[in-house]
Every structure is written in structure tokens, then in C-alpha cells.
């Protein structure tokens, strides 16, 4: 527990326990540690997640915007792509070195729909039906926050949250919502799934959750 503050010591194991209790009931093994994962653990807070492909995937952007929009996979693929390589750090302790993520800047999507005055935050929802995340508008506009179509230089696999996941480079990996289906501009920050259990909303790696990990981005 060296280096953990009170908050981290109290909250850190909670995610681990919850994930384990979910995975042990998961007959698909989807959320379990799979071989060939390249150091990643596959996490899901639900037992099974529907598969979405280019044929039926959609991403809706709504809330406090001028032009609500629904994007298909091909729409996102047609936009300018950015590739970033950083370490990945989970708040439970595991870290994966230099991992490429590639996709559309969230900032570009926000510009397309036109953020209205009054919006200060972004809420993310997922087609697993349960997981949520959030960012402030300033965080969401960062260059290293991607609506990610590729991970490890291949299309984001179903297990990793494909076809589209969020990637928030400088924050703990729980901010990087998998199976992304909705982006909603909100008047205030609405804490995400794990944040209701005590994890920090501002989840900067090494500067939150009572942890002192080396920064990732
Ligand atoms: N929809 C969804 N997104 C999620 C999670 C989840 O359970 N469901 N877990 C988070 C956590 S805690 C981590 S560490 C990463 C794990 O990503 P991976 O499964 O690709 O390794 O996804 C994050 N995004
Ligand atoms: Mo995590």
C-alpha cells in the first residue's frame, strides 16, 4: 500500500473486488484476463455486452448542442484521425507500456455539433447499458482525448470496447469508456459509474485517487 493515500487505500481495492465478482459470474469470460491481451485486463461491469459492427453501430451526440448528430462508423472513419502513444494505467495498479490509440479528436466532434453556452461538461454513455463517464468541457477539448477507432494499431476489438471507445490519455483508464454510444453536453459534471463508488472525477494519473503513479500523457 506504499504511496497510497487514505482515499486510495479505501477505494482502490473496491474496483478490484467489484470486477472480480462480476468476472466470476461471467460465463463468456469477456471481462476476464485473457491470454494474448498484451498486458491488458478486459474489464466490464456487466456480464455480457452486445456486439456492434459497422452495420449497426451508432454514436449520438446531443444535449446542449446546436446540431445534435448521430454518427455511423463510416462517418467517424471519414474524419481526420490522430494517433497517440502513451502508457496505460489502471487505478488498481496494472500498467501497459506505450500503447497506440487512434481516432477522432473529441474536440472535432464537439466543434461539428456546436457546443451551446451553458454546457460545462460532457457525459459519456455505453451500449453495455450501464457504464458512464464524464469530463469537464476543458478536459474534453484536450488534444489527447480521442473517440478511438483503433487500439494497438488494429480496430478496437469487442473486448477492448469496440468498435468505438473513448481514450483519455492523461487519466486513469476508467475514464476511457468502452462501447461508447452517447456523448451528451451537460450543464454540470455528472460523475461516472466508478465515481459513484468514490473514485475521483478528475482522474489525472499520479495526481488523484491517492496514487503516485508516473504520468501517462
Ligand atoms: N463500458 C465500460 N468501459 C470501461 C470499463 C467498464 O467496465 N465498462 N472499465 C474501465 C476500466 S476500470 C478500465 S481499467 C478500462 C479497461 O479497458 P480494457 O478492458 O480495454 O483493458 O476500461 C474502462 N472502461
Ligand atoms: Mo481500471
pLDDT digits (tens, 9 = 90+) for 167-211: 999 999 999 999 999 999 999 999 999 999 999 999 999 999 999
For the CA of 194, the closest atom of ligand 1 is 12
Instruction: Give yes or no for residue 145 having a pLDDT over 70.
Output: yes
Choose the residue to mutate in 176, 179, 199 for probing ligand 1, maximizing ligand atoms within 8 Å of C-beta.
176
Pairing of strands 180-186, 121-126: antiparallel
Three cell numbers written together for 15: 474496483
Quick one: which atom of ligand 1 is closest to the CA of 131?
1
Average pLDDT, the chain: 88
* Total residues found in the chain within this entry: 217
Task: Give the pLDDT confidence score for residue 119 in this predicted structure.
Answer: 98
Place of cell 466543434: 111
Confidence of residue 139 (pLDDT cuts 50, 70, 90): very high
User: Ligand nearest 176 Cα, by number?
Assistant: 1
Q: Provide the pLDDT for residue 217.
A: 85
pLDDT band at 120 (very low <50, low <70, confident <90, very high): very high
Q: What is the largest CA-CA distance in the chain?
A: 49
The dotted CATH code for 50-197 is 3.90.420.10
Mutate to test the pocket of ligand 1, among 12, 89, 174, 216 (most ligand atoms within 8 A of CB): 174
pLDDT of residue 62: 98
> For residue 39, what pLDDT is reported?
84
Is 90 near ligand 1, meaning CB less than 6 Å away? yes
Q: Which atom of ligand 1 is nearest to the CA of 90?
A: 14
Say which residue the cell 456487466 belongs to: 46
Confidence check: pLDDT of 148 > 90: yes
**Which residue's entry shows cell 501517462?**
216
- CA atoms within 13 A of residue 168's CA, in its CB half-sphere: 26
> Residue 93 pLDDT more than 60?
yes
Q: For a pLDDT cut of 70, what percent of the chain falls above it?
A: 82
| C-alpha span between 97 and 91 (Å, rounded) | 15
What is the mean pLDDT of the segment spanning 132-155?
98
Q: How far apart are CA 49 and CA 165, in angstroms?
A: 14
Cα–Cα distance measured from residue 200 to residue 185, given in angstroms and rounded to the nearest whole number: 20
3 state SS of 23:
helix
State residue 15's pLDDT score.
63
Over pLDDT 90: what percentage of the chain? 80
Q: With a threshold of 0.85, does the pTM exceed it?
A: yes
Q: For the segment 2-47, what is each residue's pLDDT rounded down to a tens digit?
A: 333 334 434 443 565 445 434 433 333 444 455 446 788 889 999 9
Does residue 165's CB lie within 6 angstroms of at least one atom of ligand 1?
A: no
Sequence ranges of the domains in the chain: 50-197
Nearest CA-CA partner of 99 in 149, 148, 151, 147:
151
Cα of 43 vs centre of ligand 1, distance in Å, is 5
Give the alpha-carbon dihedral of 144, 146, 151, 157, to 10 degrees. 160
Q: What grid cell was written down for 200?
A: 475521483
Asked whether 125 lines ligand 1 (CB < 6 A), one says: no
Amino acid at each position: 500500500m506504499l504511496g497510497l493515500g487514505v482515499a486510495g487505500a479505501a477505494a482502490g481495492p473496491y474496483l478490484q473486488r467489484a470486477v472480480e465478482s462480476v468476472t466470476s459470474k461471467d460465463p463468456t469470460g469477456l471481462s476476464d484476463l485473457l491470454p494474448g491481451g498484451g498486458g491488458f485486463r478486459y474489464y466490464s461491469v456487466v456480464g455480457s455486452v452486445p456486439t456492434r459492427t459497422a452495420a449497426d453501430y451508432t454514436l449520438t451526440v446531443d444535449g446542449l448542442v446546436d446540431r445534435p448528430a448521430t454518427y455511423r462508423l463510416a462517418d467517424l472513419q471519414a474524419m481526420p484521425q490522430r494517433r497517440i502513444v502513451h502508457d496505460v494505467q489502471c487505478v488498481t495498479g496494472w500498467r501497459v507500456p506505450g500503447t497506440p490509440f487512434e481516432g477522432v479528436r473529441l474536440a472535432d466532434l464537439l466543434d461539428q455539433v456546436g457546443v451551446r453556452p451553458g454546457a460545462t461538461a460532457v457525459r459519456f454513455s455505453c451500449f453495455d447499458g450501464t457504464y458512464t463517464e464524464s469530463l469537464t468541457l476543458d478536459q474534453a477539448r484536450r488534444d489527447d482525448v480521442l473517440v478511438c477507432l483503433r487500439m494497438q494499431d488494429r480496430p478496437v476489438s469487442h473486448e477492448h470496447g469496440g468498435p468505438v471507445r473513448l481514450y483519455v490519455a492523461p487519466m486513469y483508464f476508467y475514464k476511457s469508456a468502452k462501447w461508447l454510444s452517447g456523448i451528451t453536453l451537460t450543464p454540470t459534471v455528472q460523475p461516472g459509474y466508478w465515481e459513484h463508488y468514490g473514485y475521483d472525477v478528475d482522474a489525472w494519473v499520479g495526481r488523484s485517487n491517492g496514487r503516485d503513479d508516473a504520468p501517462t500523457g
